[in-house]
C-alpha cells in the first residue's frame, strides 16, 4: 500500500545523521537514495540530530501496531549504535488517566501512567528516566497552569541536556 508521508526506517536514520535536505517528502514506496537531489553525502555537524524524540500519545499507547513497532525498533537500534540519546514525550496523560485528569500533581503516582511508560520502555527500549509524561494544552484558553508548564519544561530541559552532551562528545569542543 502506497502511503505518502510515511517514512522507511532508513530514511529516518538518514535524517538523524543529516543526510536529508529540506524539502524531502518521505514516501514509504520510494526511499531516499544517494543519487537523489535531497541527499547530502557529507552533512555538517549542524545538519545532524543529537537527540531523537518520540512523541507518543498516552491515551493510545497500547502499541499493538507491530509494523510501526518494528520500524521504531530498527531506528532505535541503529541510532543506539552511535550513542544518540533517545527520549519519549508521552502526551495526553490527562486523557489516559482520570486521576491525572483531576489532579496533574498525581502524575507520578498514577498506576496507569506508570503502566504506559513501562509499555513504551518494553516495546521501544527507551530508558524509563528518558520517558516524560506531559499534558497538552488543547482546550485551555489561558495557559497559566504552572504544573503543565513544569512538566513540559522538564522534558525540554532534559532533551537539551542530552543533546548538548551528545554534541560535546561528537565534536570534542564547545
pTM attached to this predicted model: 0.84
**Residue ranges making up the domain that contains 123:** 50-171
Residue 111, Cβ density class (10 Å: 0-12 exposed, 13-18 middle, ≥19 buried)? exposed
Q: How high is the pLDDT of residue 173?
A: 47
Residues 43 and 58 in one domain: no
Mean pLDDT score of the chain, rounded to an integer?
85
Cβ atoms of 21 and 40 closer than 8 Å: yes
- The segments of the chain whose pLDDT lies below 70 read 1-5, 63-64, 138-145, 171-174
Which residue is listed with cell 504506559?
Answer: 116
Record the cell numbers describing residue 102, joined without a space.
483531576
Structurally, the chain folds into a number of domains equal to 2
Q: Give the 3-state secondary structure of residue 46.
A: helix
Residues 23 and 65 in one domain: no
Residues 8 and 43 in one domain: yes
Helices and strands in the chain: count of H runs, count of E runs: 6, 3
**What is d(CA 100, CA 87) in angstroms, rounded to the nearest whole number?**
22
Record the cell numbers describing residue 86, joined without a space.
533517545
Residues 78 and 151 in one domain: yes
Residues 97 and 128 in one domain: yes
Residues 73 and 126 in one domain: yes
pLDDT tens for 60-108 read 777 667 788 888 889 999 998 888 999 999 999 999 999 998 888 899 9
Amino acid at each position: 500500500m502506497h502511503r505518502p508521508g510515511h517514512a522507511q526506517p532508513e530514511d529516518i536514520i538518514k535524517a538523524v545523521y543529516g543526510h536529508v535536505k529540506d524539502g524531502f517528502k518521505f514516501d514509504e514506496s520510494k526511499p531516499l537514495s544517494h543519487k537523489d537531489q535531497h541527499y547530502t553525502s557529507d552533512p555538517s555537524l549542524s545538519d545532524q540530530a543529537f537527540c531523537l524524540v518520540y512523541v507518543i500519545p498516552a491515551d493510545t499507547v497500547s502499541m499493538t501496531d507491530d509494523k510501526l513497532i518494528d520500524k521504531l525498533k530498527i531506528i532505535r537500534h541503529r541510532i543506539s549504535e552511535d550513542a544518540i540519546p533517545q527520549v519519549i514525550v508521552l502526551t495526553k496523560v490527562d486523557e489516559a488517566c482520570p486521576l491525572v485528569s483531576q489532579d496533574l500533581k498525581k502524575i507520578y503516582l498514577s498506576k496507569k501512567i506508570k503502566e504506559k511508560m513501562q509499555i513504551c520502555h518494553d516495546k521501544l527500549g527507551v530508558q524509563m528516566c528518558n520517558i516524560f509524561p506531559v499534558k497538552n494544552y488543547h482546550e485551555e484558553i489561558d495557559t497559566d497552569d504552572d504544573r503543565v508548564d513544569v512538566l513540559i519544561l522538564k522534558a525540554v530541559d532534559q532533551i537539551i541536556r542530552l543533546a548538548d552532551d551528545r554534541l560535546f562528545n561528537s565534536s570534542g569542543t564547545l
